[in-house]
Each structure stands twice: as C-alpha cells, then as structure tokens.
A and B are shown apart, each in its own frame.
Chain A
Amino acid sequence: GAVVSQHPSWVICKSGTSVKIECRSLDFQATTMFWYRQFPKQSLMLMATSNEGSKATYEQGVEKDKFLINHASLTLSTLTVTSAHPEDSSFYICSALAGTSGDTQYFGPGTRLTVL
C-alpha cells in the first residue's frame, strides 16, 4: 500500500516552455502533498506544501509564479514549471502524507527535468 506515482519520469524541453508534472496517490487519499527538488548528491529541498482545495504554501526563496502547484483532488497534485530555463533542470520529487497518524510521507519515483 501507500504507492505514489509521478508522470512523466523524465522530460526534456526547450527554454521558455512550460512543463507539467503529475503526482498521484494510487491507493490512498492524500489531503497534503509535498514537492521537493533534489540536486545531484544533495538532500531533498522542500519547495512547497500542497493542500487539497487550497493554495499551496511555498518555502522561502521559491517563486510561486514560476512553480505553479495545483491540488485539485485528494489523489492528484500537479507542479507546473513555467517559462523553464536551464537552471530549472533538476530532479523533482513529490510525496503524499499517509499512515495511521497522517505523518508518514510516501514519495513518488521522481521526475528528471532537463531544460535545453
């Protein structure tokens, strides 16, 4: 149980275009999802907390107009990287809160974004 999927697993796009990444909880409902960014050989950097039906809460330094997050249902959250630039190239990972106490995060497999 507690499976989280992400789509796509990798994407290559041209500079200036927008890319949407989907995060789904497959066998549970998640009122809260998180979006992370990870650089090579580094820890996970939290970008934002996404709550179903409300606006996402962004971490300090994360541009909310560049990284649009939508959590329209209890099983789906999306991250849209708008007007992508090469510096946005990274590994993006989502997680969803589950567990009996609702404090365990289950992570998706990640999405590798490369902006040319």
Chain B
Amino acid sequence: QQQVKQSPQSLIVQKGGISIINCAYENTAFDYFPWYQQFPGKGPALLIAIRPDVSEKKEGRFTISFNKSAKQFSLHIMDSQPGDSATYFCAASHGTYKYIFGTGTRLKVLA
C-alpha cells in the first residue's frame, strides 16, 4: 500500500511531441503528489505538484492530471524539447511525512 508505481520505465519522444508519464498509488491517505526532474549527477528538482482537491494543474509546458477515484496521476510535457531529456520521478506523501517515490522514467527527446 505504500508503493507508487510509475510507468513507462523509459520513453523516447520526438521534439515538439507530448511526453506522458503515469503513476498509480494505493494509499488513500496520500495528499501531496510532486513531480521531480533529475539530470545525471544532479539532485532532483521540483517541477510541479498537486493536491487531491484539484484534477489538473498546469505550469508552463508541464501539466499534472489527477484522478482521485482511480488513484492515478500523470505528468504531461507539451512541446517536448531535447533539454527535457532527464529522469522524472513522481512521489506521494501524507502531511510532512516522508515521500514514497516512483521508480523513475528516463525521457529522451530526439532533436
């Protein structure tokens, strides 16, 4: 119940395309769902986060879609660019407790 399942493991997208990464959780107590971007040799950087009271949140080219009944949330990267090539992690938490991370998705955007 503490797992967050992330898919796909890797993703290749053409420049200008849409990248979609999905996560699913079991614990209904989770109330905070962030997405992080990590480049090789660097720490993760917060991209965007959502709470269960909204179904979608958009920040620039990044959008989180949240489906509370299905216990799923996804990251959409619009107009994907080569500079977006990185590993993306979803996470879930409850209050100020620790994060449960997904296994990560390695995104490659072809020029």
Chain A residues near B (Cβ < 8 Å)? 4, 6, 32, 34, 41-44, 46, 49, 91, 93, 95, 97, 101-110, 112
Contacts and interface: CB of A to CB of B under 8 A. Distances in A.
Interface stretch (B39-47, B59-67, B75-83): B39-47
B44 A107 contact: yes
B46 A104 contact: yes
A55 B45 CA distance: 27
Contact of B95 (A42, A49, A103, A109): A103
A69 to B, nearest CB: 14
Given A43-B102, A107-B36, A102 B96 contact: yes
Contacts of A109: 42-43
Given A44-B89, A104-B49, A110 B43 contact: yes
Nearest to B45: A107
A108 B41 CA distance: 11
B49 A43 contact: no
Contact of A110 (B32, B41, B46): B41
A112 B43 contact: no
10 contacts: A42-B103, A43-B104, A46-B99, A49-B98, A101-B32, A102-B96, A103-B95, A104-B34, A105-B99, A107-B46
Contacts of B99: 34, 46, 105
Interface string B67-111: 000000000000000000000010001011011011110100000
Given A105-B46, A107-B45, A107-B46, 14 more contacts: A6-B43, A43-B103, A46-B98, A93-B43, A93-B44, A97-B96, A104-B32, A107-B36, A107-B43, A107-B44, A108-B43, A109-B42, A110-B42, A112-B41
Nearest to B42: A109
